[in-house]
Amino acid sequence: MDLFSPVALGDIQLANRVVMAPLTRLRSGDSGVPGDLVVEYYRQRASIGMIITEGVWPNPQGQGYPGQPGIVTDEQVDGWSKVAAAVHERGGRIVMQLMHAGRVSHPDVNGGRDIEAPSAVAIEGQVRTPAGKKPYPVPHALTTEELARVRDEYVQAARNAIAAGLDGVELHGANGYLLHEFLSPASNERTDAYGGSPENRARFLVEVATAVAEAIGAGRVGLRISPMHNIQDVFETDEADVLLTYGALLDQLRPLGLAYLSVLHAEPGGELVQELRRRFDGPLVANSGFASVTTRAEAVSLIEDAHAEAVAVGRPVIANPDLVERWAGEHPENEPQPHLFYASGAEGYTDYPTLEQVG
């Protein structure tokens, strides 16, 4: 097998093994409705084997950033249906990342609502809001009754994504957001059935994944994790505890037959990631993280060395809508413009040229 060969991730058939990583771009305005600009952005990148959308909030409390899209209102569902149609028209595949920001937010961002988290433990530092930087607030610790409500909101969001025509969903259990917050003893100080032991800390994510898989089919549900990424105060520094926690998580998810597991880790071919891959016993999407840009050579090697079934790529896909064509022909790449990653408008979003345009 090679990077440019087809592969199936659950029920999703990919033309190649390059996956567009979920990339926060924040172009959906105050309403969280993806408009024509967002449609064009994803349409341009339809030759990627599978697009994973930027994180989309499954409930209003879960909005983490101004301009982040949602999948709750009829208008948001309609906006995403136009995105899905544009990608499918070009033969592409697209799944929606469902991302509840948890404590990585502020009432100035989510419309004045409570900030939800496993425990009432704030992140140290400041959050960007429309009114400028402010300290992260102490979040509200979700009750067991509220956890059932959040789980059901994930299920409805997944149903909405499928109703909009997307090929599946990815549950964001990484990077310090809500589902990840449950996994770490640094952010989860609960003493009930959802805290304490590794099995208990994995419980909520298992319940959400199980409910979503039952609602839309396990073959259309992926999961993203980032063990030992140590970001946004979700610290996982005890390797033994990490293996126990993620092992408990994946042992319980394995019978579901989820579409894929995406692991963000600096060493995709290393012992930890490959052990988690064995425990999951399904397709692995490798993502080597934020510290270095994924190169063509790295992506090719991960597939040829059988370390993963597919490779998630971030910044090169932002700058090269036709990245697969460029990599397949070993053509030069556009350079990304990081200062425009989170801007508004088309600049640095839909104006990167294709080979055809520069040829």
42 assigned to active site: no
CA separation for the pair 122, 332 (Å, rounded): 44
The catalytically annotated residue of 177, 194, 246, 260 is 177
Other CB atoms within 10 A of residue 304 CB: 11
* Closest among 59, 102, 122, 73 to 204, alpha carbons compared: 102
* Closest among 242, 258, 249, 303 to 279, alpha carbons compared: 249
What's the number of CA atoms in the CB half-sphere (13 Å) around residue 359?
6
**Annotated catalytic sites, by residue?**
177
